[in-house]
Every structure is written in C-alpha cells, then in structure tokens.
Amino acid sequence: MRHRYTTTAISLHWLIAIGIAGTFSLGLYMHELPLSPTKLQLYSWHKWAGVSLFALIVVRLLWRATHAAPPLPAQMPALQRLAANATHWALYALMVAVPLSGWLMSSAKGFQTVWFGVLPLPDLVAKDAALGDLLQDVHEALNLTMLGLVLLHAAAALKHHFIDRDDVLTRMLPALERNE
Amino acid sequence: MHSLRRTLASLGATLALAALAAPAGAAGFATVDHASSRIGFGYTQMGVGMDGSFGKFTAALAFDPARPEQGRAALELKLASIDAGSAEANDEVRGKDWFNTAAFPLARFESSRIKSLGEGRLQLDGKLTIKGKTHAISAPVTYKVDGRRASFDGTFTIKRSDYAIGEGQWADVGIVADEIRIDFHIVAGQ
C-alpha cells in the first residue's frame, strides 16, 4: 500500500526546504562581508526571506496539526520511530525559533525588520547591544543545530529509500516512487 | 556674559560667533546648556527608519524674544562624535567616503536670518557647511521660554549627496536614502 503526505504538505515541505537552504547560505555568506551597500541589501533580503519562511512555517504547523502524517513503515523499530518523531518535532521547533531569534536580534541591535521594505514588524525587545550580541550567538547556535538535524533528516530519508527500500522518502517525494 | 565668552573661546574665534556678542540684551538668552541640548538625525535604509545623534557640539546663540529678528545662532559639531547605531556604522561613517573626519572634523552652521512667525514660532535660515560644502538651509523652529531658560526645537532635511556624505559605492541612494532629517533641541539660559 502506498502512503503519501497531502500535496499541500509536500509543497510546503519543499518550498520551506529550498527557502531555508537559500536563507541559511545567504546568512553564512553575508555576515563576513565588510560594511557596504551590498551587505545592507543582503541583510534586508535575508530578513525578508526569514519573515516569509516564518509565515510559511506557521501555515505548515497549522496544516500538520489538522492533517495526520502517513504512518511509518510497520517494520520500523521503536527506537527509530522515537528518533524520527523527535527529529521532526525538533525541526519544527527550530523552524520557529530560528527566524524568531533573528527578528529579536535585529530589534536588539537597533535595526527594525520591515518586510519587503513595506511592512514594519514590531520590535519585541528594546535596543540593547549586549542582548543583541547574545541573540546573535543564539541565532548562530540554533542554525548550526538545525544544520545538523537537517543533515540527519536527509541521511535518514536516503537510508530508508536505498537501504530499507521503504516508502519513507517517496511519501514526501512521489516522483521517486518505484514502479513495482 | 562670562559664560558666553567661554563658549566663544572654546569655539575658536570664528567670525560668525564673534558677531553674536553684540545683540544679546538683558532679556536675551545667550548661554547654551549643552548637557540638556541634543542634535539628532534620522534616515531610512532599505525602507527601515534609523536614528542617530552627535555627542559633541558647541552652540552659541543670542536670542531676545522681544526682538527675535535680531537673534543669531551658530553651531560647531564634532562629526567624529556620531552615534549612528552601531560601532561598525560609527567607524564607517567617520571614514573617507562619508564624513572623512580626519580631513573635515567639524560641521558648521551659521544663521543668516531669524524671522518671527508669531506665537513661539521662528523660521531659521542659515548656511550649513559639511565636508567643505556649504548650502543654505531653512528650518522651522518652535521655542518656549520658561523663566530664565528657553528651549528651541527644530527640524530640517538635507540631501546627503549635496555634501558628498557617502561617496563611491555609498553614492547610491537606493540603499541609504539621500534625505537625512536633522532634529535639534537647544536649551539656553540668560
């Protein structure tokens, strides 16, 4: 029997995956640049992307809360199920925490976030240089944790597909479904 | 008058300021309280409003509410004392492309005309010099007299491109806007 996530869940997953990869790479690149108009522009783009992703993630969580995920393969050991569930929920938590920490960091550093230069987000914390530095470390640590979990997540999906030969990857990537 | 003289001395004997001593009458305000005064600015960067201020400036004025048209005002501002929001930004704007404070340490303002608009409102005209470039500016000012002290609040907008503030790669006004709003709050005693 074939199981799949809903088309909406699949679309949100891949859209957010591409968005996170791009925004993460941009963040990694831009923060080493010397101050320049380009740097200011990239920071703004990074923040716009982060807010957009945050909005998509909220939609995704609402969708996930109201639509059950397809069941895991029956033969999966309990420990693996636990690991899979823990990784998924940790990734959901990080997808909320990473943009949130970036938003708070921006406010603490005195740079308000204005989505696409049009919609100002409220500053949830006042300008505070020490808090800004702390939140920068938090943003970085959360990102590195997320990078580790994303790599684990991708490795597990590939292991399921090529070694276990089950439907764990194809239910999120139907294009790879085997014709049996 | 002693404190005015001290103020003048600290400014160096610029012609503009030396001329101030004359019209200060008995009811005039001529002693600027620098600790209570503030010079700030605002601009937008990629649509995001940013604020800053200058820590060190010396203002001199002579203003008699009974004869506002005879008033004078002058200001020297130490550009390196800028607070543009972060240490990185402060270092950048002191540099060659922005204020080039090594070559042009001071911004200067000198009034040319004060016009009374009635009810505590003035129009202040004068010349602003930054980075060797001088342009006329005009600012609406409101003032309040409270016993022996008076406060003056005004705001005006300059184009940074007029003063070559932000050259080279920063000349593009699409990222850091051309319009810079200057706000001042000057408190003076008699």
Name the residue among B46, B89, B92 with its Cβ closest to that of A44.
Answer: B46
Name the residue among B50, B86, B169 with its Cβ closest to that of A36.
Answer: B169
* A40–B176 C-beta distance less than 8 A: yes
Residue B98 belongs to what domain range?
2-189
* B159-188 tens-digit pLDDT: 999 999 999 999 999 999 999 999 999 999
By 3-state DSSP, what share of chain B in percent is helix, strand and coil, each rounded to 5?
20, 50, 30
Name the residue among A37, A44, A111 with its Cβ closest to that of B169.
Answer: A37
* B57-113 tens-digit pLDDT: 999 999 999 999 999 999 999 999 999 988 889 999 999 999 999 999 999 999 999
Please check whether residue B128 is in contact with residue B75, taking contact to mean a CB–CB distance below 8 angstroms.
Answer: no
pLDDT for residue A1: 53
* A40–B175 C-beta distance less than 8 A: yes
Among chain A, residues having any CB pair with chain B shorter than 8 Å are 35-38, 40-41, 44, 109-114, 117-118, 120, 129
Confidence of residue B32 (pLDDT cuts 50, 70, 90): very high
Q: How many domains does chain B have?
A: 1
* B143-156 tens-digit pLDDT: 999 999 999 999 99
For residue A129, which residues of chain B lie inside 8 Å, CB to CB?
86
pLDDT for residue A179: 67
CATH of the domain at B97: 2.40.128.110
Please check whether residue B55 is in contact with residue B38, taking contact to mean a CB–CB distance below 8 angstroms.
Answer: no
Reduced 3-state DSSP string for B35-50 = HHCEEEEEEEECCEEE
Please check whether residue A12 is in contact with residue A59, taking contact to mean a CB–CB distance below 8 angstroms.
Answer: yes
Name the residue among A44, A109, A118 with its Cβ closest to that of B86.
Answer: A109
Q: Which residues contact A66 (CB under 8 A, 6 or more apart)?
A: none
> pTM for the full model?
0.84
Delineate the domains of chain A, giving CATH numbers in brackets. 7-176 (1.20.950)
**What does chain B come to in residues?**
190
* B46–A41 C-beta distance less than 8 A: yes
**Collapsing DSSP states into helix, strand and coil, what is residue B120?**
coil
**Collapsing DSSP states into helix, strand and coil, what is residue B55?**
coil
B47 in contact with A at a CB cutoff of 8 Å?
Answer: yes
